[in-house]
Amino acid sequence: AQTVTQSQPEMSVQEAETVTLSCTYDTSESDYYLFWYKQPPSRQMILVIRQEAYKQQNATENRFSVNFQKAAKSFSLKISDSQLGDAAMYFCAYRRAGIRNTPLVFGKGTRLSVIA
């Protein structure tokens, strides 16, 4: 079974600084997708960024970027120029690739605080 581990239950960052959230996963599959979701107090899970395992290039979305190390099964999220609105729970998630949708497997989450 696939597992996703987020080893940092809580992190904090100063506004405008950079923070990196860690995620490791375990799978025997070669084709899969990885995601970072953000869950603010409103509770809605918002997709931050995704990475296809077959792509070597790390995904970026504005201030958000990932460091995808397939061999090490590591998928960290870097948030640059942190803003107060970035404060939320962040979940790393894995999904096996396939023609048909497969369930998302989530880590336990990292609570990020942004200090003004």
Identity of the amino acid at 45: M
CA distance 17 to 51: 24
Residue 21 CB, nearest distance to other proteins (Å)? 16
Q: Of 42, 56, 57, 62, which lies in the binding site for other proteins, with binding defined by CB under 8 A?
A: 42
Q: Is 111 in the site for other proteins (CB under 8 A)?
A: no
Residue 78 CB, nearest distance to other proteins (Å)? 20
**Considering beta carbons, is residue 78 or 95 the nearer one to other proteins?**
95
**Considering beta carbons, is residue 17 or 31 the nearer one to other proteins?**
31
Q: Of 91, 94, 112, 114, which lies in the binding site for other proteins, with binding defined by CB under 8 A?
A: 91
Applying CB under 8 A, the residues found at the interface with other proteins are 33, 35, 37, 42-47, 50, 52, 91, 95, 97-109
